Copies of this chain bind each other. A is one copy, B any other.
Amino acid sequence: MKLAISLGDLNGIGLEIALRSHEEIAQWCEPVYCIDPTMLAWGAALLGLDVPQTMQVHPCGDVFDITPGRATKASGKASYHSFLKALGLVQANKADALVTLPIHKEAWHKADVLYKGHTDALSGLLKEDAMMMLGCEKLFVGLFTHHIPLKNVAKQIKKKPLTHFLIRFWESLHVRPIGVLGLNPHAGDGGVIGREERVIAKAIAAANAYAGEEVFMGPLVPDTAFTPRQLEQFSHLVCLYHDQGLAPLKALFFEESINVSLGLSVVRTSVDHGTAYDIAYKNANPSCKSYLNAIQSALVLARKRENFTET
């Protein structure tokens, strides 16, 4: 399998992570790095690292001065070009999936990039609606709603859109069982503490009927959904709002987590951390766990897509 890798902001830690992880990754797949060769050599020299001879490069972007830890117009422009190049390779079937290293939003803004970040750019460029999933092998959490005020969450719990989300989620992953959380304390306690669980139960039933098997289970009691016993049963959970999923996930698996965009015409995974400007080019030997997990998940998802030949 071939993975197109965008290097992210070259003033951040992305390049160091890519260089330090290459030998390991090259044992699993054929990574293609979207970066100008001069910039690659220069960045590696600044880091005191060798450029592995087996590194396959797709040249893109301009040559500019690396200024560690600073959001510049040049770093923003180069990281956007790296992203566009990597995305283009996947769209042209020259790579099986896209893995992104972190960009810096301020640098994109300085470079007049219209989008706020990767997910926003993917939705805009592909004109598709991405589903957000975060986590690691032990636990992936899909989010039905994301960046909306808590007071508006309950209103979004409607049978049709939730059913649609569950079906798309399942079609993207083909795993089972998938747990679906309730909205209220104790999952409503039989209707005593809120009634949204009835709607959730109906959406689960409809999605299972569509799938023709019992894929989804729930509504689960939210405050015990992340205990060791539950995680033995469910490696995938659908959460109804941002903090319901991400607070327990980050409590348990902070360093390992990755970000996955589901429901798009391309497979895309990403690290779940930022450019870490404070430790860039300082020989800090940053954790590569999230990146390695992003690579592995991209391979798993790309293989699934091959098997199920969805488009």
Seen from chain A, the residues whose Cβ lies within 8 Å of a Cβ on chain B are 146-151, 153-155, 183-186, 188-189, 193-196, 222-228, 241-244, 246-252, 254
Contact = CB atoms under 8 A, between A and B. Distances in A.
B248 A224 contact: no
Closest 6 CB pairs of A and B: A149-B194, A151-B154, A226-B251, A223-B246, A185-B242, A248-B251
Contacts of A241: 185
Contact of A151 (B151, B225, B227, B249): B151
A194 B151 CA distance: 8
A262 to B, nearest CB: 19
A284 B193 CA distance: 34
A146 B185 contact: yes
Nearest to A183: B150
B184 A150 contact: yes
A154 B246 CA distance: 19
Given A146-B185, A149-B154, 12 more contacts: A149-B183, A149-B188, A150-B154, A150-B184, A151-B153, A151-B154, A223-B246, A224-B247, A226-B251, A227-B251, A247-B247, A252-B252
Secondary structure class of chain A's binding surface, majority of residues:
helix
Contacts of A228: 254
B242 A254 contact: no
Contact of A223 (B153, B188, B247, B252): B247
Contacts of A148: 185, 193
Given A247-B247, A247-B248, A186 B223 contact: no
Contacts of A153: 150-151
B248 A222 contact: no
Contact of A147 (B193, B224, B248, B250): B193
A297 to B, nearest CB: 20
10 contacts: A149-B184, A149-B188, A149-B193, A149-B194, A151-B194, A222-B243, A223-B242, A225-B247, A247-B247, A251-B252
Contacts of A146: 185
Contacts of A224: 247, 250
A152 to B, nearest CB: 8
A243 B227 CA distance: 13
A226 B250 contact: yes
Nearest to A187: B243
A183 B149 CA distance: 8
A173 to B, nearest CB: 22
B243 A226 contact: no
A302 B59 CA distance: 68
A238 to B, nearest CB: 14
Nearest to A252: B251
A150 B189 CA distance: 13
